[in-house]
Every structure is written in structure tokens, then in C-alpha cells.
Amino acid sequence: MKEINLGKLKKISKKIRKNILFAAKCGGSSSAHIGGALSCADILSVLFFNVMDISKKKYSTQNRDRFILSKGHGCLAYYAALVEKKFLTKKDLETFEKNESDLLGHPVKNRKIGIEFSNGSLGMGLSLAIGVGVSFKKKNIKKKIFVLIGDGECNEGSVWEAAMCAPNFNLNNICVIIDKNNFQQTGSNTKIMNLRNLSNKWKSFGWEVIKIDGHNFEDIYKSTTKISKKPTAIIANTIKGKGFKEFENNNDWHHKIVTQSHYKKLIREIDDYK
């Protein structure tokens, strides 16, 4: 297993968080879903810069990994990572949720800018991955499909239908990462629809299950590169709004506007973030 550069990943995750804030400020919309974007920033840092075989140069070829953002409302983290991968520019982020923009409140398929799949209706990402996984097997493509799902999204029955399907087709080329930040739009998961033991649920469907700290780069890397004969489900324990004290575990920031003055204050905080 190759070593990861922790210093580099810390810098990338900071840049991704700064990009998230910048886009949210430019969009000026309460639908920016900042909390859920920040909770998965470290996961995307590792996936895009240490795990996935993906680049702008290779994007027109079939022989590459795929990424599906099932929790489409967390798209700012996706767009922020695509900026650092040179698919997008900082100027593109200024158009977030503006008229005729390519960067809407949920990802819309546009391979030119690195978006492989449209998503927004929760619970659909894993079903998309099933189709891609089957096609990879038929075409003998030895690459993986990484799917990022929200824990609140696991309230959707379609998630469990797809979860039952993947082991049935022996799709060990699928890796699901559950961003378990313990909140959804209107409150905590415990109060709205208690998920209880997520690990046991995925295991019962025949998945290889790994529990990790979703902000620990080494944990993320080891779990996403582990070889298994089964599809892999990673339960990533995260903090909603991670990186900013005001945001962390504060579900008000599921929907809230970042003003210009607020933005300047938060950028100073992220510069001091360890």
C-alpha cells in the first residue's frame, strides 16, 4: 500500500473548505447546504487526490474510476474538489446557482467539468452505481465505483433495495461511503428516523463493512483501498459543518446564507484550522 502525504491532504482539505465557503457566499442562497458539504470534505480530499484514478486528461476514456454523489445537496464539496482537480476554476464557483450556470444546487451531468451523473432525488446514487458496476463486469473494466451517501438518505427504501442487489451480482467493484454526520434537513436522525445499528444493517445485506473516523485521512485511505470479494460499505463518522466552530453539529447551517462579512471572518478561522 502506498503512503499518503498527510501534509498535502491537510492543505487540500483546507482549500476545499475555502472553496465551499466561497461558492456559498457567491451564490447567496440558503440552499447551499454548507453543513453537509463540510462533513464530507476530508473524504473527497482523499478520494480525489489519493484513491481514484481520475483526471481531466483521462475523462473521455472508459478505463477509469467513477464517483457518484448520491447526497446531491452536498454538491459544494464536489464542486470544490473539482476546482482543485482543475476541472473547474474559482471563477466557475462564482456562478453557483446563478442563471445559466453549470453549477446548480444539485449536480447535473456534464462530463466536460467532471460531473458523471446527475443527482438530487435522494436514494438514487447506489442504484446508478449498480448499473455501472454490472457494465464494468461485462466489459472487464477493472476499476471501482465510489458512491457517497448521507446517513439521513438511508431513510430511503431505494437505498436498501440497491444494497440487497449489489452482493447478489457480486459487485465487489462498488464502494459506498456513508457520511454519518447524524443530522438531516430538519433535525437529528435519532429523532426523525432512528437508523440504529447501520453496520449490522449493511452486513445483513452481504456487504464488507468498515467503520472509520471520516476526518482521519489514513482511515479514509485504508478503507477505500481495501480489497474485498464483497461490495464495501464504509460507515464514516463525521461532524456536520466540520472545520468551523459555529457550524459544527449546528443543523441551522443545513440551510443558511453566508454574507460577505461572515465569509471574511470564517476564512480567517480556516487559516488557523489544524
pLDDT digits (tens, 9 = 90+) for 213-222: 999 999 999 9
**Chain CA centroid to CA 203, Å:** 22
- Would you tell me how many other CB atoms lie within 10 Å of the CB of residue 61? 8
pLDDT digits (tens, 9 = 90+) for 59-117: 889 999 999 999 999 999 999 999 999 999 999 999 999 999 999 999 999 999 999 99
Mean pLDDT rounded to a whole number for the chain: 94
> Is the Cα torsion angle 248, 29, 108, 124 positive or negative in sign?
positive
Q: Is 2 exposed, middle or buried (0-12, 13-18, 19+ CB in 10 A)?
A: exposed
Residue 255 is classified by DSSP as S
Cβ atoms 232, 175 nearer than 8 A: yes
Give the chain's domains with CATH numbers.
Answer: 6-271 (3.40.50.970)
Higher pLDDT, 124 or 121: 124
C-alpha cell belonging to residue 49:
487526490
pTM for this entry: 0.96
In DSSP notation, 97-159 reads TSTT-S--SS---BGGGTB-S---STT-HHHHHHHHHHHHHHHT----EEEEEETGGGGSHHH
Exposure of 69 in the CB half-sphere (CA atoms within 13 A) = 30
d(CA 97, CA 79): 12
| pLDDT given for residue 273 in this prediction | 61
Instruction: Give the amino acid at 238.
Output: T
The answer, yes or no, to whether residue 47 has pLDDT greater than 90, is: yes
- Residue 115 phi, psi dihedral angles, 5° rounding: -100, 110
Identify the H or E element spanning 66: strand 66-69
Cβ atoms 74, 67 nearer than 8 A: no
Confidence of residue 274 (pLDDT cuts 50, 70, 90): low
d(CA 175, CA 43): 13
d(CA 103, CA 95): 7
Higher pLDDT, 35 or 256: 35
> Is the Cα torsion angle 134, 135, 139, 141 positive or negative in sign?
negative
The answer, yes or no, to whether residue 1 has pLDDT greater than 60, is: no
- Listed residue (102, 56, 47) closest to 79, CA to CA: 102
231 in helix, strand or coil? coil
| pLDDT given for residue 30 in this prediction | 62
